[in-house]
Structure formats: C-alpha cells, structure tokens
Chains A and B, each alone.
Chain A
C-alpha cells in the first residue's frame, strides 16, 4: 500500500499548497482592491475600440473614463455610429451634442497627370523621407508627393492612392481622426465638416504662369473667384485663394465657375465639380518626368 500512501501524500501536499496560495491571493485581492466605476467598462464596450484619438484622448479607455466623469460628451467620438452615441448618452443620462460629420480633405489636386516633377526622387518610399530630400522632386513645392504615407497611416482604410498618386478619401469611412493630418509632411490634409462644399484644392503660394508651369490645376491667384463670390467669402492671401468658412452659408457654385484651372471646386456627393471655365484635362497617363 506504500505507492498509494505516496500518491496520497503528494496530493495532500499539492492540495494544501494550492489552498494556502489561494488564501493569500484572496486576501491580497481584498486588501489591494481599487474601486472603479463599473460604468467605465460598459461605456468602453459601447465605443468602437479604434483608439484613434479623434476625441483628444489617447485611447478609448481614457475617453470612457472622461465620459463617465462627465468631462466630455459622447458625440466627440467620430468613429462611433449615431445609435451607439445615443445609447451611451442615454446610459449616462446626458445629452449627446449632435455634431456634423467631418472628413479629411486634401488641399492638392496635382496628380501625376497634371503636375510636373522636376526630378525623380530615388530613396525611401515615404513622403516624410522624401520631403527632406530637396522637397521631394515635385515641381510644386507645396504639392502632394504621392508616396502614400497617409494611406499607411489611416487605420480606417479610408485613404487609398489613385493611379495618379493622389490619396482619395473615402468619406463614408473617414472618421476625422487626424492621423493623415499629422503624417503629411506638406500639411495638405484638413478636417472639415461635410457642409463645407467650397474647397480650394491647392496650396501653391506661387502665382500666375509660375504656378501653372508646375501644375495645371494650381491656383494661379487670378482672383476671379474672389470677385464672383459674395463679398468676403474668399480672399487671396499669399497668392492663394482662402475660403472663410465662417461665411459658409453664402457659398455657392458661383465662385468656381470662372476658375481657369479648376483649383477651386464644389464638393457635392463625393464628386469634385469644377467650374465651366476650367480647362478640360483629358490626359489619362502620367506626365513624362523631368
């Protein structure tokens, strides 16, 4: 019967050890317990877990904590659906401030078929690296380099490079998280409410022929839009048309009609409408380099 005794002893010892340690753990969890509002977990579950940072908090958990404390309102979470936002608001008993959908917009229309490259950039395939190499080779110093850092940075699959090397924002997927704004070395992205339909798709600070030499869709600072649009809506600053969005209600397609290059556009139903005065570009292949 000795083997059974051995087994019995071992079982007793291991079991005793287990019970003893369990007691220690139980005591520790009681002693070291930190109270946390259980609502934080529930609110966090209702958030999209994207940790995108659009709400100004570093992630969803801190945002949930701020919500429970009442510091922020649920509407700040742009990736979340309307229903979930309302659900959180209802759960916490607060009013969700209704916010208009905002999206990222690119202030450049200079794809490879309309914008010239002074030189071929050879090096790391990253806009941020290329921007430090003599500006990246594009004729227009301010224009999109087309190497797709924003495509990689976008965690919501909302940005894709088109065949001319321009990032196209899928407005349905865009949650205005600011990642593309941060990553672009040329600062071409801006977050705008979708109701801002008048849009200058250019950042070139050169004027006239000089601007057009580098890019066929550049803003040449001709000021026709300024004249056509209601007073004070658009102004030319540093050779670039700037829309004053505080007067957005006045905006209409009148402003874009006579733009010779089509740099100022009317964004309607995800399509950028150019004015009738814009020259028609039918080229579908990239311009020769050099």
Chain B
C-alpha cells in the first residue's frame, strides 16, 4: 500500500557528484579525537587513562547511563589526553585524544562471530549498547533504546530508512549498492530478536540501483519488502517515513514504538551486522564528502575521531572559493567553523559550499505568500512562528505547536524573502525551554 506525506519541498538533489564513486577507505592518520558526548543522552565515561596503550576496537569508554553508549578506539595507539576539545557545535566537550602508533598494523584482533541466535532480547540490547551503535542517520540516538520496549508492547514492523532525502549525500545509497548482503543480515538479526513480523525498506525512487540490488537479493523467506518512495524532502524524517509507508500520522507526542514500529537507518543495521559478524564495534562510518568547494568529492569509510582537516586533505583539500563548511546534509547540517573538530558517529557527510551554493542571507519582509505553510511537513505555520519569535512571544509560540517543529529546514528553503525561519524557531525553542 502506498501513501504520501503531505507538503515538503523538492530541493535540487546534486547527488550526481558522488553517486557513482565507490566507497573508499581513508588511510590512518596520526591523531584521533573522540568526544565522549557524541551520541544523544548521557555522555560516556572514559575507562582508560592518559598514557595507556589501546588496541583498535578496544573499548575506551562505557555508557554513562541507559540512554548512552560505549565508545571504542578507532586505532591502535596511545591515549594522549582526556580533556575538553573542540567538538561539532562549537562547544568544548570532554574528549579522548589518541595518537596512532605508526608501527602498528592496525589489523583488527579477530573475534569469533557472536552467536546472536541464542541471545535473549535483554542480552541483545546490552550487546548493542556496549558496541556503541547509534542511529547513523544524523541524530546519533542510541539504537538499543529504540529496541527496549515497555512491558506488554511489541515491535510489529521494522522500518528501514534508506530514503536519504538530504541533497548531496550518497553514503546510504552507496552502502545499499555495495553491501546489500550485510544490510539484509542486519535486518534479519534485528527482526529475529525483536520478533517483528515484517521489515520494510523505504527508498526514494532516485536510487533505482539500490532498489534493484536489494530486490535481487531478497528472497521470499526474508519477509522484507522494498518500498520505493517519491523523491521529496524530508522523506527520511521518522514521522514522514511512517506516514509514507503506513499512511499513519504519528503525533509529536508519540514515539514510533508506541504503535509497534522501530525505525532504523540502513547504515545502523549494517553496523549491527558487522558487530555480530566479526565483533567490530562502531569505530568507523561511511560519509559523503561533496559540494563545489571540495576538490575531489568522495564516499569514504572514515574512522570515527578523524579530524575534519585530514578527511578534507584526503579529498584534495578545500578550494579557495569555499564559503562555508557543513557537517551533515545541506538542509539540517551544522556549519563548521574549525577544521580541527573530529568526525563523530552522527556525521553523515561533509559539504563545502562556494558562493554558488551558499545561500545569501539578505532578509526581506514576509510577503505572506504561504509557501512555508505549504512546505512544513508538520502542518505548522512557520511564518507566524517566525513573527512571534521576533516579538519574543514564546508562550504564544507554544500554543502554535512550537515544539512539534523538527527543524527540517523546508520552510526556510521555500521562503522567497530569505527569512531565517529555522534559526528563529530554534533559538525560540532553546530560550522558551530555559525559562
């Protein structure tokens, strides 16, 4: 059964820059910085000391609570410091700095595959948490939390997010093309452990290769469906995806698991498959480096903690005319002010934009054209929210469902007056929260 979510926008995709480039591995560099709070929830707690030698894949921090995950060393080397370092978002976060051992082979210590079939659900969730696996779509929400169900509830459907609706990014697309077997293995593991009836992979139709590859691999017995979805932003947002696949509008007050659905990104499932297959915890991830400011755009496997500077150097460096560097997709990514910050688990891409792509920010008055309303996937009234934010009337904003906003950027994208609606709303959210 096919549905659509209403509203949304159609930004130019620009995926052709990297879509045909196979995933490459970035060579090891000298220095890695691993912020302890690179996932949502409580920060991890370091379990190593300064000066200690660590192996690649060795755990260096343990979860700091239930909504928290472990952290593993991406290289064999030596812990040089545990102190605040510049992290994405501009803040200094407590981080573990590891210098790679130049003489180490960086080969993984072979681990026997984990017998996942015999694990109970609790053990499985524990494994996921201690393997440091988080949602790799961008939010870095610890995966095991999604699988822990309150008493009496059960996951019926496993929804796999292969939409990749952000322009420029092709990492999930390449992953589905190159490792369909691992993806299906990950699906099989999670489906079996959660007891889900079916798994559905939602893929936007601009990735016909991925759809065909997966369909060729899926056998009837897998009970996995591939569902092509129309190309529309934000198709990959959790609630939009649920609406597009099941035709159900999940209210902002509910979580997917309340209606028996678990939503996972394709790369998270591949990470799960890798962990149970070879004992490899989450120490590297696939990112897309793209945009007109990058000399050689690429899809890369990057050890987590690699400084941005090294990744960009591998891609030939930034062009002179680069105007802005973004971590994540162009619609929701964070601007980056320093190349010293590391790649973290939630980094899905690095984009460098020149004047050609970077938007101007000359703001004009709102002409009430209503395009933001037609763009907002949550049916909010961004123009009014923006106006109220400027007047600092936060109570009224909450009455207009300020908290439902997911900051997807569709309204700002559509606005002909270049009003920074998302920034206004985001700032207002933060401030009204503080009161």
Q: Tell me if chains A and B make direct contact, with any CB pair below 8 A.
A: yes
List residues of chain A with CB under 8 Å of any chain B CB: 118-119, 122-124, 126, 128-129, 131-137, 141, 205-206
Nearest 5 Cβ contacts at the A-B interface: A135-B90, A119-B337, A134-B90, A118-B337, A129-B427
A122–B427 Cα gap in the complex (Å)? 15
Interface of chain A, main secondary structure: loop
A135–B334 Cα gap in the complex (Å)? 11
B430 contacts the other chain (Cβ, under 8 Å)? yes
B65 contacts the other chain (Cβ, under 8 Å)? no
- Asked if B90 and A136 sit within 8 Å, CB to CB, the answer is yes
- Add 16 more A-B contacts to A118-B337, A124-B423 (CB < 8 A): A119-B337, A124-B420, A124-B424, A128-B430, A132-B426, A132-B427, A132-B430, A134-B90, A134-B335, A134-B336, A134-B337, A135-B89, A135-B90, A141-B86, A141-B92, A206-B92
Q: Report how many residues on chain B are interfacial, defined by Cβ distance under 8 Å.
A: 20
| A108 nearest CB across to chain B (Å) | 16
Which residue of chain A lies nearest to B335 when distances are taken between CB atoms in the complex?
A134
A126–B427 Cα gap in the complex (Å)? 10
- Asked if B337 and A135 sit within 8 Å, CB to CB, the answer is yes
Which residue of chain B lies nearest to A122 when distances are taken between CB atoms in the complex?
B361
B338 contacts the other chain (Cβ, under 8 Å)? yes
A133–B86 Cα gap in the complex (Å)? 14
**Residues of A close to B84: CB separation below 8 A:** 205-206
Interface of chain B, main secondary structure: mixed
**Residues of B close to A141: CB separation below 8 A:** 86, 90-92
Which residue of chain B lies nearest to A136 when distances are taken between CB atoms in the complex?
B90
13 contacts between A and B (CB under 8 A): A118-B337, A119-B338, A123-B420, A124-B423, A129-B424, A129-B426, A132-B430, A133-B90, A134-B336, A135-B89, A135-B337, A136-B90, A205-B84
Which residue of chain A lies nearest to B338 when distances are taken between CB atoms in the complex?
A118
- Asked if A128 and B338 sit within 8 Å, CB to CB, the answer is no
- Asked if A133 and B430 sit within 8 Å, CB to CB, the answer is no
**Residues of A close to B338: CB separation below 8 A:** 118-119
B396 contacts the other chain (Cβ, under 8 Å)? no
- Asked if B92 and A133 sit within 8 Å, CB to CB, the answer is no
**Residues of B close to A122: CB separation below 8 A:** 361
A131–B361 Cα gap in the complex (Å)? 17
- Asked if A128 and B427 sit within 8 Å, CB to CB, the answer is yes
A124 touches which one: B86, B88, B427, B430 (CB < 8 A)?
B427
A132–B433 Cα gap in the complex (Å)? 14
**Residues of A close to B427: CB separation below 8 A:** 124, 126, 128-129, 132
- Asked if A123 and B430 sit within 8 Å, CB to CB, the answer is no
**Residues of A close to B89: CB separation below 8 A:** 134-135
B258 contacts the other chain (Cβ, under 8 Å)? no
Known: A124-B420, A124-B423, A124-B424. A205 touches B337 (CB 8 A): no
Which residue of chain A lies nearest to B434 when distances are taken between CB atoms in the complex?
A182
Tell me the B417-435 residues at the A interface (CB within 8 Å).
Answer: 420, 423-424, 426-427, 430-431
**Residues of A close to B86: CB separation below 8 A:** 141
Residue among A118, A123, A134 facing the most chain B CB atoms (10 A cut-off): A134
| A139 nearest CB across to chain B (Å) | 8
| A133 nearest CB across to chain B (Å) | 6
| A275 nearest CB across to chain B (Å) | 28
A136–B334 Cα gap in the complex (Å)? 12
| A156 nearest CB across to chain B (Å) | 19
Which residue of chain B lies nearest to A128 when distances are taken between CB atoms in the complex?
B427
A134–B92 Cα gap in the complex (Å)? 11
**Residues of A close to B424: CB separation below 8 A:** 124, 129
**Residues of B close to A206: CB separation below 8 A:** 84, 92
**Residues of A close to B420: CB separation below 8 A:** 123-124
A134–B87 Cα gap in the complex (Å)? 9
Residue among B89, B91, B335, B337 facing the most chain A CB atoms (10 A cut-off): B337
B323-337 CB mask vs A (1 if < 8 Å, else 0) is 000000000001111
